Structure 1
Amino acid sequence: MNYRPNFNLATFDSLESQQKRLSLLCKTAEIGEWSYVFSTDFTVWSDYLYDFYELDKDFECAELLQSTQLYQGSEKEKMQALIAHVTATKKERSDDFMIVMQDGRVKWHTTTIHPILDAYGEITGLYGIVQNITARKNSELDLQRMAYVAEKTNGIVMITDPEKKIIWINNSFEEILGYRSEEVIGLDPAAFLQGEETSAETIREITRSLRSSGTFSGEILNYTKSGEKIWLYLNIAAVYDDAGKLINYVAVENDITVIKTAEHRLQKAMEKERELNRFKTQFVSLASHQFRTPLATIRSSIDLLDLRMESAGLSASFIEFFQKHKAIMAEETTRMTELMENILDIGRIDEGKIELTKKHLPFRQFMDAFVQSNVEPNEQQRKLDYHFDAPDCIVNIDEIVLRNVLRNIVSNAFKYSEGKQAPEMTVKLQDGVYLITVKDYGIGIPEKDQAFLFQSFFRASNAKVYPGSGLGLMIAKKLITLHGGDISLESRVGSGCTITIQLPV
């Protein structure tokens, strides 16, 4: 101890100074004392007890058990039994007690009672020490509640010390991982749960996350005692005391092995499906290319036969018969060629091999030219009821691709509304997007079929008497999507169909 010249040792050792220091120490340690003398029936309390019981200094100490409601029911009986036991046996004894304050708060204390004996060993009074253990009891109750919840949960619960050594596990840890409590207490779980296929990146991420934020959530591959792989989803949280010191890590882990297995199977199935799609695309592309040569040969042979017919001197009836079937062959050959081209387009789109050749042009000029060149191909020769109700903007489009898309939609409108009012085509501009609407008054599409119309080879149930491949709308949607737009459809059976193309300016 350093000597200080102005320090008054006599004052420090005075009775008043000692009493002040003792009172301060008792308050800091939350300890009070009392004494009771049998001959005088007199009880004395230290200052801290008035603070603990939250009573005024003029309260009569001896009346604590009789005149207040602090000790209720069994707690009062237990205190009386403790006093009686020490008085009868002349031996010290301790017990924990709960008191209920007037506002409903609960406090806990440990009371130790010592017998006061005279020179002849006769008991003359009692000396009691009261220690406030409310904080400890509350922590114990919290731990009990947590342990109860942890034992009832199906998930794994584990508590470690700051060095990540296990200090407690629940029953699910034993049941799921196969390790008994006595086998793992004091061990780092990483030492026996992780294995050769455990992700080193995940281990580093756990360390980094706990260091930076005190928490981690994520999945990890671990191993049971029998060596089986098990996927766990971890939620780890650091626990700190009131001073901010790390005291524990609490980990809650759920077995997600079934989910991970299902994900793995789904991934393999998707990879297999992608492989089959690649094979299908390659096969279709090859077949389509191979079909194009014989189709071209058929068309060339038809043209050669037609030329020979003129010089063969055949009868008029035979020539008429030939021309009729020549037209059928030419039409079917053209349809087959278009089908092959559509299939090739699908393959190129799916493989990302179609590149748009865009150029800037006035949209009204493009639309006007398209409408003028597209009338009904049969004898009805209907024309579109066309309205361009929008400002004329410069658009960046692949002119050939967009024209083919519109031709496909317009030809469908004519085909499925034969003998009805001519289809309508309107163009409007809304929020920087051109809305191109084609409405017909034909057979319409059943509601149950509408969700599938943009799929390959699907045709509405009421449209199968009309020629078609079921590829046009699907290709149109893919090509419009490449332009950054979209296609939507509305229809009712018997009331026609409305298709709207959204094309960004």
Structure 2
Amino acid sequence: MIIDQSEDILLLTNAGMEVEFVSQSMEKILEIPVAKSMGKKINQVLDNFPSLPLMKPNQKMVIPVTTPKTKKRLLIEFEFKPQYTPTGSVQAIIAIGRNVTERENSLKKFKDTAFKEKELNQLKSRFVSMASHEFRTPLATILSSALLIEMLLQKDFGPEIKAKIINHVEKIVAQTNRLTDITSDVLLLEKSIQTEMKVSLKRIRIGKFVEDLVDTINRESFERRTVKFTMADGDTTVMTDPSLLTHIFRNLILNALKYSEGALDPEVYLHLRGSYFEVTVKDYGLGIPKEEHEQVFGSFYRAKNVGNIKGTGLGLNIVKELTKKLQGEIWFTSSLGIGSEFYVSFPVK
């Protein structure tokens, strides 16, 4: 009576792990009839029980169980206590099961929170390091240019003075734009990792969309280079967020231009692959060191071989987050000194 009224589940098996006794709490908690459990091995009674044999003295394990009637998802912790004969062989095994669903869920939430907090602290640390480095140069340039303009304005305006003033104004504009880009990247990264970020799906012709974007970048004449676009399989209509897609493709294409200076022009390919479309951005530039491949999509990460090429190290991290928002995937191949190919794949819907 005491055993049957217990909140714990008690099983007794023989040495072969075949059930010889089970308490009524098995049926009450797990909705598994006692009669159907008798004579069966534990891994036949509980679907997620590991293959036998498993025994170690006083071993504990947490097993997920879905009740057959009410479809509750429970986590049951079993503790196993082997019973030995005088000669030292296993005679029977007592298994005590306890519902630890609430405990395990609380523990998981705690671990998730701790992990996110640790990740956030790392992100803050990297941002402070990046910001102190990246903000210093443009701010110094803006300040010095403003002071020089002030000095020049005190003189007569000849052609030479006018040219110098224009030069410094252009520096101020360029460095202000750089600071604006850094701030925008940080804000977009913060927004992209929020689960409630809105995705506005629209129906677009993906081929024309990518072609127009490449044409726009080419008209901007980034270092007077031309990105080549190839649409191998014709065009199709897709459901996507044009704004997020523009940021993804633009970032990848501008990276291809930025990190392949003096090399062949980058290439963009569009392929239709059944229920997915895939865009490839290929460059013939610096390439990424093999030992750094796993870190490429990390926040504030920049490869060691980029030299003096400006950047925040946020671009690819943002691209990956936005790609996930659109239920897509991103991956790449790269060889040092040869170039890189970035692939993004999205459902056509």
TM-score computed with the length of structure 1 as normaliser: 0.46
Match of 1:385 in 2: 228
Matches of 2:269 and 2:22, distance apart in 1: 73
Q: Which residue of 2 aligns with 1:213?
A: 37
Q: Does structure 2 conserve the Cα–Cα contact (< 8 Å) formed by 1:376 and 1:382?
A: no
Query: Aligned partner of 2:176: which letter?
Result: T
1:233 to 56, 60, 79: 79
User: What SS does structure 2 have at the residue aligned with 1:444?
Assistant: coil
Distance (Å, rounded) in 2 between the aligned partners of 1:399 and 1:450: 28
CA distance in 2 between partners of 1:280 and 1:350 (Å): 15
- 1:472 counterpart = 2:308: no
Q: Report how far residue 359 of structure 1 moved.
A: 0.7
Q: Comparing 306-315 with 439-448, which one deviates more in the overlay?
A: 306-315
- Matching residue's letter, 1:351: Q
Cα distance, 1:486–1:209 mapped onto 2, change above 3 Å:
same
Mapped to 1, the partners of 2:153 and 2:201 lie a distance apart of 46
Structure 1 counterpart of 2:115: 273
The corresponding residue for 2:270 is: 427
- The higher radius of gyration belongs to 1
Distance in 2 between residues matched to 1:362 and 1:435, nearest whole Å: 14
Q: Gapped runs of 5+ residues in structure 2?
A: 1-12, 50-59, 63-76, 83-90, 98-102
Q: In the TM superposition, what is the alpha-carbon distance from 1:503 to its structure 2 partner?
A: 2.0
CA distance in 2, matches of 1:319, 1:389: 51
The structural deviation recorded for 1:325 is 3.3
Cα separation, partners in 2 of 1:386 and 1:311, compared to 1, 3 Å: farther
Distance (Å, rounded) in 2 between the aligned partners of 1:346 and 1:434: 25
Contact 1:281 1:347 survives alignment (8 Å)? no
Tell me how far apart the structure 2 counterparts of residues 310 and 360 of structure 1 sit (CA, whole Å). 54
Q: Confirm whether residue 359 of structure 1 aligns to residue 183 of structure 2.
A: no
> Structure 2 counterpart of 1:205, which letter?
I
1:109-153 Cα offsets, whole Å, 9 max, x none, are xxxxxxxxxxxxxxxxxxxxxxxxxxxxxxxxxxxxx99x79xxx
Q: How does 1:41-56 map to 2 (within 5 A)?
A: none
Q: 1:269: Cα distance to partner? A: 4.9
In 2, Cα distance between the equivalents of 1:485 and 1:379? 28
In structure 2, relative to structure 1, the CA distance for the partners of 1:430 and 1:327 (3 Å cut) is same
Structure 1 residue 345, shift from structure 2 partner: 1.6
Change (3 A) 1:379 1:431: closer
Q: Alpha carbons of 1:397 and 1:235: their partners in 2 closer, same or farther (altered >3 Å)? A: farther
Match of 1:481 among 294, 299, 324: 324
Aligned CA-pair RMSD? 4.7
Q: C-alpha separation between the residues in 2 aligned to 1:333 and 1:213?
A: 73
Change (3 A) 1:232 1:433: closer
1:251 to 80, 88, 93: 93
Aligned to 2:296: 453
Distance 1:202 1:338 in 2: 61
Pair 203,279 (structure 1): closer, same or farther in 2 beyond 3 Å: farther
Report if aligned partners of 1:202, 1:220 keep a CA contact under 8 Å in 2: no
The alpha-carbon distance between structure 1 residues 392 and 502, as it changes in their structure 2 partners (threshold 3 A), is same
Alpha-carbon distance in 2 for matches of 1:376, 1:498: 23
Q: Distance in 1 between matches of 2:253 and 2:260?
A: 11
> How far apart are 1:163 and its partner, in Å?
9.1
Q: 1:375 is paired with a residue of what secondary structure?
A: helix
Amino acid in structure 1 at the alignment position of 2:300: F
User: In the aligned structure 2, how far is the partner of 1:395 from the partner of 1:409?
Assistant: 20
1:347 and 2:193 equivalent? Answer: no
Q: 1:392 to 1:321 in 2, by over 3 A?
A: same
Question: How far is 1:315 from its partner?
Answer: 4.9
Distance (whole Å) between structure 2 residues aligned to residue 324 and residue 163 of structure 1: 87
Q: Give the TM-score of the pair, scaled to structure 2.
A: 0.64
Where do 1:276-287 residues align within 5 Å? Answer: 276-277=118-119
Identify the residue that residue 249 of structure 2 maps to in structure 1: 406
Other-structure match for 2:87: none
Deviation at 1:235, TM superposition (A): 9.1
Query: Shift of residue 220 of structure 1?
Result: 8.3
Counting matched residue pairs gives: 283
- Structure 1: gaps (5+ residues): 1-145, 151-156, 165-189, 191-200, 222-230, 237-248, 256-260
Q: Secondary structure at the match of 2:217?
A: coil
> How many Å apart are 1:412 and its aligned residue?
0.7
By relative contact order (CA 8 Å, sep 6+), the higher-ranking structure is 2
Offset at residue 415 of structure 1 (A): 0.8
